[in-house]
Chain A
Amino acid sequence: MRRSRIYSTVGLVWLVLTLAAIAHGTRLALVVAPTEATMGNVQRIFYYHVPTSMLSLLFPYVNFVASAFYLGCRRRDPMRALTADAVAIAAAEVTVVYSSISLLTGMLWGRAAWGIWWTWDARLTSMLLLWLLYVSYLMLRKLSATGQTQTLAAVLSVFAAIDVPIVFMSIRWWRTQHPAPVFFGGPDTGIDPSMMPAFVWNIVGWAMWGVFLLVFRYALERRRQEREQEAALKSIEGTLEIAQ
């Protein structure tokens, strides 16, 4: 009981800090940071687009490590393996959320800067494929039979982890063979120092928000697992009573 009190207090403090960081980052991005010379105010979406894109490349690693851990110890230590599985599903969902935000903000910017919503440029295509991979991971989790969901999902996560470097290389080859005419490049090498605080604070804020979502989803999944185990135990007890 006491431990859960500590957890919820830590969670609450973390949430408040996260919201404060995001609020500060938003103020810096929308008010304090100077207007960009060529793109104007449209450029400000980068303070959201770049952090979410960076983070959506980070969470898949969490998913992969948790899945590999699950496969490694699902026989020896099923309880800890279940914990790893809860981390894996939380990380996969956060990946989908962040890469969706990254794609959507990218499209908004593309419409304003390039005049088109979408182009099959190397980076856009790779991000779309990453999104597809993790949506298919969630589909598998949703559709597979209880009892084998965790193992199948962990196997698919290993496949996805091997697939991602091949995807990035192949898309790059594809686009160097047929250069896209509309692509002007993202922000060139480095950004002006006066834009740096807004950028850093948004990375911090959105990373904290991602971690919050991850842990929250993890806790939810753990509760679901515990309830499932209780139900299973009860039904076993029920069969024992009949046998007597």
Chain B
Amino acid sequence: MSYFGHVFTHLRKDLQLEWRSRDSVVGMLFFALLVVIIFSLAFDPTAAVSRQIAGGILWVALLFASFTALNQSWTREQRNRVLDAQRMSPSPASALFLGKALANLIFVSFVELVLAPFFLIFYNLHALGQGWMLAVVMPLGTWALVCNGTFFAAMSLRTRYREVLLPLIMVPISLPALLGMMQATTAILTGESDPGIWIRLLVAYNIAFTTVCLLLFETVLSAE
């Protein structure tokens, strides 16, 4: 089987598992919705103010929501010692990682698509800049979150306080990416500045960290 064959098999397995239970997508969705509502209650924003803060709130909601799913995505593999079997299998470890990260990308993107209308309604938003650029920023930002998130979730799998450790190590590393996605989204919504530089930052960040994650995943998977 080719490398991408392995990736596709892992991806299909994760999608199938999620399709049967729908745990993490539903959990993420409801959690993100709650965060959006809480911020709306806290700031009671007018249309002008909400354009300034919506980019930040959207990504904070997605960040928090993705923690809940990322923590679960590897716990699934621990049941019945599936992860040990994965370690012994001849398929490359990075294919396992890539399949899982792609599955998480699909889940979080789905949450974004469902959340978007609520978000627009609650915050009275319409983009003053080039709205179509959100179609570039959202996937780039989501990949930056889930790629590192999936990797760090695997790292914190066998640690104490797993649920706490994931955000503790993921957020400091991801801060430049978070800054990039928030600034790009705000720039598009307000139309006051050019999001180009932040999109380039996100592209560079994604290339750098996807490479490192693929190279080092085997080390983390077999760390004993």
Binding site for B on A (CB under 8 A): 71, 129, 132-133, 135-137, 139-140, 143-145, 147-148, 151-152, 155-156, 158-160, 162-163, 166-167, 169-171, 173-174, 177
B180 touches A170 (CB 8 A): yes
Chain B contact patch, size range: 20 to 34
- Residues on the B chain within 8 Å of A143, using CB: 156, 159-161, 164-165
Interface SS majority for chain B: helix
A136-B169, A177-B193 are known contacts. Are A145 and B160 too (CB-CB below 8 A)? yes
- Residues on the A chain within 8 Å of B172, using CB: 129, 132-133, 135-136, 163
Binding site for A on B (CB under 8 A): 155-156, 158-161, 164-165, 168-169, 171-173, 175-176, 179-180, 183, 193, 197-198, 201, 204-205, 208-209, 212, 216, 219-220, 223-224
A173 touches B209 (CB 8 A): no
- Residues on the B chain within 8 Å of A137, using CB: 169
A147 touches B219 (CB 8 A): no
A155 touches B159 (CB 8 A): no
Bound together, the chains give a CA A162 to CA B211 distance in angstroms of: 11
A132-B172, A145-B159 are known contacts. Are A155 and B180 too (CB-CB below 8 A)? no
- Which residue of A148, A162, A170, A171 contacts B208 across the interface (Cβ within 8 Å)? A162
A163-B173, A166-B208 are known contacts. Are A155 and B220 too (CB-CB below 8 A)? yes
Least CB separation from B176: chain A residue: A170
- Which residue of B175, B193, B219 contacts A155 across the interface (Cβ within 8 Å)? B219
- Residues on the B chain within 8 Å of A147, using CB: 224
B29 → chain A closest CB, angstroms: 28
- Which residue of B165, B171, B197, B220 contacts A173 across the interface (Cβ within 8 Å)? B197
